[in-house]
């Protein structure tokens, strides 16, 4: 990367070189700046700070998503879902019901009756 020092957004090539250098040199920004000649050591530190913040944000989001699984519906909510599905299936045209399958309709009706008992 022997080009004039630039400012503004980092190119994909610059960022990929940054990642390689980060793996090799860690946080030794002067060594990184010797490999990425288009940026100053200060620009590289700033880019690293933003990069680490973005990585942390993604990790936090993943952790929150994994830590809080979606709650299962209660029995009443499940029955309401089944009833809504049955209503929608009953209101569709006969041809559409055949596409969806009469077996699914029968199974939903049986399940609805069995759970309500």
pLDDT in tens, 24-71: 999 999 999 999 999 999 999 999 999 999 989 888 888 777 766 677
Q: Are residues 93 and 61 in the same domain?
A: no
pLDDT of 13 above 70: yes
Higher pLDDT among residues 94 and 7, named by residue: 7
Q: What is the pLDDT of residues 66-108, one digit of tens each?
A: 766 677 888 888 888 888 877 777 776 565 656 556 666 667 6
* Cα(51)–Cα(73) distance, integer angstroms: 39
Whether 34 and 60 map to the same domain: the answer is yes
In a domain, 21, yes or no: yes
Give the span between the Cα atoms of 44 and 18, in whole angstroms: 8
Q: Which domain holds residue 107?
A: 75-116
**Which pLDDT does position 92 carry in this prediction?**
65
| Residue 91 covered by a domain | yes
pLDDT at residue number 105: 63
Asked if residue 82 and residue 62 are part of one domain, the reply reads no
pLDDT of residue 58: 87
Distance CA 72, CA 25 (A): 47
pTM for this predicted structure: 0.52
């Amino acid at each position: 990367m022997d080009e004039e020092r630039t400012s503004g957004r980092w190119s994909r090539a610059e960022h990929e070189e940054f990642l390689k250098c980060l793996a090799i040199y860690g946080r030794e920004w002067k060594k990184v700046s010797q490999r990425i000649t288009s940026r100053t050591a200060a620009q590289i530190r700033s880019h690293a700070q933003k990069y680490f913040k973005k990585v942390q944000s993604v990790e936090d989001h993943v952790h929150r998503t994994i830590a809080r699984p979606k709650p299962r519906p209660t029995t009443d909510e499940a029955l309401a879902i089944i009833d809504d599905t049955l209503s929608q299936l009953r209101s569709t045209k006969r041809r559409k019901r055949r596409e969806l399958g009469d077996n699914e309709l029968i199974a939903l009706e049986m399940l609805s009756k069995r759970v309500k008992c």
